[in-house]
Structures are given as structure tokens and as C-alpha cells.
Structure 1
Amino acid sequence: MSATPAVLVTGAGRGIGRATAVRLARHGWHVHAGVRSDAAAASLRAESDAITPVELDVTVPEHVEALVDAIPERLDALVNNVGIAVPGPVETLDRAAMHRQLDVNLVGPLAVTRAVLPHLRRAQGRIVFLSSVNGLVSFPFTGLYNASKFAVEAVADCLRVELGPFGVQVALIEPGVVDTDPWHEMDAVVDAVEAALPAELRDLYAGHLAGERQLVERIRRGAIPPETVARAVERALTRRRARARSVVGRDARLMLVMRAVLPARRMDALWTRELGLGPGRAPRAAAAPQERTEVVT
């Protein structure tokens, strides 16, 4: 690692990405911070002279291609943080929502990784993927988000082996609930999801959505600050050998223990109870899925 190591952090405009960019800048890194707005860029510049904002929407090929000229020849680390969540019952999610979810959370980060990999190889650098406990345990109402994070886990496992001979290490950070804007906005998000449903589906899933509101309120109380995740990212970048996986948050660790000891039927029953759902309901005709509301993580 060079005297002043360089790192690219995607999704650095808010939440975990911003906390990571600020922390690394304060601890001796030169941070190239991927942002999508001038306001986010100005805010990060005000935090530290060691932060260089870079216009980066990972779903825009021109932005990804421009990274080659925006970062140094030797890049010590890449933090693939950017992500969104497209919520709602799986039945209600249309093809556009599926593509959007996977494009932002999986395809875009892999495009960024491919673009900067020659720079990382020169430095024998590191890649950190911000996954989630949702990449290990599937939560109801975030089916597409779960799928995208499960996919990130699979890809990271492959890259860890494929890039090992080049000296490039790959790590996964798996937080539980983090105290970022999306969790403060979740009540409005659930309302928007419900409002977008056709009348038939809105009635069919009324109990599910009511249970989701109550569950969100309970689990939100245990949210950890984004700075806690930023510390985990820094450890993944600086320890002699990066751990393949780092679970962050008491709730995430508890969920993994439950998944390990409980059979699938018991886990299903747990979710059903937590959401206040009774036995199966009589099937009703479903209308076409509607446009979704997404949550930027």
C-alpha cells in the first residue's frame, strides 16, 4: 500500500457511503467519492481536502468508463457500497423493477469493478462489497433486494478465488439495520407501496402491510449508526488479511444464529408471527403489477 493510499467509494453521497468516505479521509486515505449530485459533491469537499468527488451513477456506462481517467494508476481499494431497495410483495413486482434492482445492486458494481481492476491489480489492492444480512437471510417484502444481495455474496466468493493469484483481496461487509435515511423514510415507503397497488392486491395484502409497518417500527429501534459500518469497512481495508465476511450489528448476528439453528418451517412461522399474519387466505384475482417505489440505501 502506498504512503497515501487511494480508494474509490461508490454511493458516497449519503448513509454508509458518506460515513465511509469521511472516515477513510480522516485516517490517511485519499478518497475518490462516487456521487450523483453537485450538492453531495460540495458537502464532501467541505468535510476534507482528502476527498475528491467523482460523478458516478453505476448504471450509466459513460460514468463507469470515465473512471479510468478519474482515479490514479494505482488504486489501493474499491468499496462497492451503492445500493437501493425496491420493496413490496414479490407478486407485485414488475419486470422494470427487477431490472432496476439488479442493475444498481449487482450489474453496476460489477461494471465498476471491471473498470478499475487493472488499477487494483497494480497495487495488489482490495475490494469490499457492502452486502447485508439480507444476503444470507431472506426477509419478506424485500424479495428483489434479498436476491440482489444473495447474488453479491456469490460473486464476491468467486472473485475472492479468481483474483487471489493477483494479490487482490475481496471482502464482504454484512450489516443488519443501519440508521440511515431510508429507515426514517420507511413508513412513507410502505404507504407508497400500498397506494401503488391495484385495489385487488391492496385488499389482498392489507394484513401483510399492516404487519410490516409494526415490524419496521420494532426493528428500527435497534439500528446501528452508519459510522459503525464504516469502521468495519476500514478494518477490512487495513488488516493484514481481509476476512471473507464481517457481520456487523447485534441484530444481524442474531438473525444468522436463528437461521443456523431453526429449520425453514420454523423461520417461516417466525416471520408469519412477527408480521401478525394468520393462516393462508383464500386466493383472489390479481391485477397487473404497478410501478414501484425504490429506497436508496
Structure 2
Amino acid sequence: MPSVLITGAGRGIGLAIAQRLAGAGWNVYAGMRTPRSLGERITPVKLDLTNDDHIAELSSLPSLDAVVNNAGIFVGGPVEVLDLDDVRHQLEVNVVAQVAVTQAVLPLLRPRRGRVVFISSANGRLAVPMTGAYSASKFALTALADTMRIELRPWHIPVSLVEPGAIDTDLWRDMDATINSTVGALKPEHRKLYARHIAGLRKAAPKMQRGTAPVDIVAATVERALTDRRPRDRYVVGNDARVQELLRKVLPTRAMDSILARAFGI
């Protein structure tokens, strides 16, 4: 049976992917900061993406046919006021660690012509207000995947991006708390400067939450990326992500900027 490593498999999208692939007969290595049993055919692996030793130990896995780089974090807020340590952490987890994991397991994938999948986001091709650091990390993943897809061609290792829109995960369920935390960290003068942005985000949040899609559609898409005879370079997931991608392609930048500004009350 084929085997796959999934990072961030303890909850949300990663957990859904792990359970779906295990149900389809894959041997799943589930990377989690706090390992726990997730069911048959799933082997918990202690994996904190900020721990170099954990990542180095991945090369000791017995065999591997695929890696799904799913783990990630979200840092929000106006770029002007972002704490630089938070920006560094955003990029460390969402970009640098993805490279490190992939480097660690490529020697296992190469002899089996395995596959590499990155879970990106619709924000990896369209940046929106208040998500600058997060969007930057996902844009970076797009560049890495595009580069690696060509670099790894001699060994027939496909590299795919899965780009979900709004998905029913903790990030969206807890959006009110996330906004409150972001606003609470601002200095009073910055709250005043960005009052319209904050109000627009609070107004838009309920609509975005109602439009979230179930995690299963992402898991199903990842399964396709791992089993399609000719895997795509990109898999866009969710109606909202498809609409965003269409608008990005057909509208001039200034028109797209105006739409986003209005949507966020700016």
C-alpha cells in the first residue's frame, strides 16, 4: 500500500486528509505537535515545524510515496502595524518549514517517483486587506511549487498546489476571536487609523463564515492530486476561490483593488 506524510494532521484540513487517505488504503504518517491515535492505518509522528530535530527525523521513515505539506498558521492585521517577530514566525512556519520537510523526505520519494502536495490558499494568488503576512507566505508557496515542479522533472516527481477558499475550520469558526485579538494588540492610534478597515472586516466576517465549504472537499481534492494519472499543477477548491481566480484573471488591478476595498469597507 502507498504511504504518505501529512503535516498538521491533528485537526482541520490535515485531519480530514489523513482520515480520507487511510480509508482509501494509504498508510498515513500523521505529523502532529502532540501525537495521538487517529485510527487504523494512521501512525502519529511528533512533528513541530519549528523543531529542526523533528524535521530531521522524517528521513528515518521506512518508505514514502507522497508528502502533503498542510501545516500552517495565520497572522493578521494591517502590514504597517505587524510585529516583525510575528511576520518572521509566519514565514518560518508557512514557508521555510515547508521547504525543510520536503528536503527531508525527497530522498524517500525519489526512488518511488512520489508526489509533493502543498496546501496553499486562494490568498496565494489574490492578497486581500488585513492578511498581508499570510498572503505573502502563500504567494511564496506558489513560487516554490512552480520552481520545484520543473526542478524535479528528471525524477518524475509531480508537485501540485491545492488552493482552497474559505473552509470550515477553526480559523473561520473563531474569526471573531481572531479579529478581537488582532485589534486588541493594536496601539490606540492605530485602532483609530484603521477603524474603517476593522469595521469592514467585522461586517464581512459573518458572510464569509456562512460561505465556508466543508473540509471534506479539500481532502477529496488532495486524494485526486495524489492519484490522478496526470496530476495538475493547481487544484482550486471552493466556489469562492474559483470566483476570485476568475476575477483576478479578467479584471485590471485597479478594478480588483476597488472591489476588495469596497468589500472590506475601505
TM-score by length of structure 1 reads: 0.88
Q: Does 1:151 align with 2:148?
A: no
Tell me the equivalent position of 1:249.
238
Q: Which structure: larger Rg?
A: 1
Distance 1:62 1:145 in 2: 25
Aligned-residue offset at 1:75: 0.8
Tell me the equivalent position of 1:12.
9
- Quick one: percent identity of the two aligned structures? 52
Q: Give runs of aligned pairs for residues 262-273 of structure 1, distance below 5 A.
A: 262-273=251-262
Map Cα deviations across residues 153-194 of structure 1 (whole Å, 9 max, x no partner).
000001001111112111110110000011010111101111
Opposite residue 143 of structure 2, the aligned amino acid is: A
DSSP 3-state at the match of 1:108: helix
Aligned-residue offset at 1:122: 1.3
Distance 2:175 2:231 in 1: 33
Distance 1:49 1:253 in 2: 35
DSSP 3-state at the match of 2:129: coil
Tell me the equivalent position of 1:216.
205
Opposite residue 28 of structure 2, the aligned amino acid is: V
Opposite residue 7 of structure 1, the aligned amino acid is: V
Opposite residue 29 of structure 2, the aligned amino acid is: H
Tell me the equivalent position of 1:22.
19
DSSP 3-state at the match of 2:29: strand
Distance 1:49 1:143 in 2: 39
Aligned-residue offset at 1:94: 2.1
* Higher RCO (CA < 8 A, seq sep 6+): 1
Distance 2:174 2:208 in 1: 14
Aligned-residue offset at 1:266: 1.1
Stretches of structure 1 lacking an aligned partner (at least 5 in a row)? 278-297
Aligned-residue offset at 1:9: 0.2
Counterpart pick for 2:159 among 170, 178, 187:
170
Q: RMSD of the TM alignment (CA)? A: 0.9
Q: Does 1:199 align with 2:188?
A: yes
Poorly superposed stretches of 4+, deviation over 4 Å: none
Aligned-residue offset at 1:209: 0.6
Tell me the equivalent position of 1:36.
33
CA contact (8 A) 2:129 2:264 kept: no
DSSP 3-state at the match of 2:166: coil
Q: Does 1:58 align with 2:55?
A: no
DSSP 3-state at the match of 2:127: coil
Stretches of structure 2 lacking an aligned partner (at least 5 in a row)? none
Distance 1:261 1:214 in 2: 27
Q: More displaced, 108-117 or 214-223?
A: 214-223
DSSP 3-state at the match of 1:79: strand
Map Cα deviations across residues 54-85 of structure 1 (whole Å, 9 max, x no partner).
0001121010011122x22x310000001111
Counterpart pick for 1:88 among 77, 86, 97:
77
Distance 1:170 1:156 in 2: 6
Tell me the equivalent position of 2:247.
258
Opposite residue 175 of structure 2, the aligned amino acid is: M
Map Cα deviations across residues 27-59 of structure 1 (whole Å, 9 max, x no partner).
010000000114xx23x1xxx220000000112
DSSP 3-state at the match of 1:257: helix
Distance 2:235 2:98 in 1: 19
Q: Does 1:137 align with 2:154?
A: no
Aligned-residue offset at 1:93: 0.8
Q: How many residues align?
A: 266
Q: Does 1:99 align with 2:96?
A: no
Aligned-residue offset at 1:139: 1.0
DSSP 3-state at the match of 2:160: strand
Opposite residue 64 of structure 1, the aligned amino acid is: I
Counterpart pick for 2:173 among 174, 184, 191:
184
TM-score by length of structure 2 reads: 0.98
CA contact (8 A) 2:69 2:98 kept: yes
DSSP 3-state at the match of 2:67: strand
Tell me the equivalent position of 1:284.
none
Opposite residue 51 of structure 2, the aligned amino acid is: V
Distance 2:261 2:2 in 1: 48
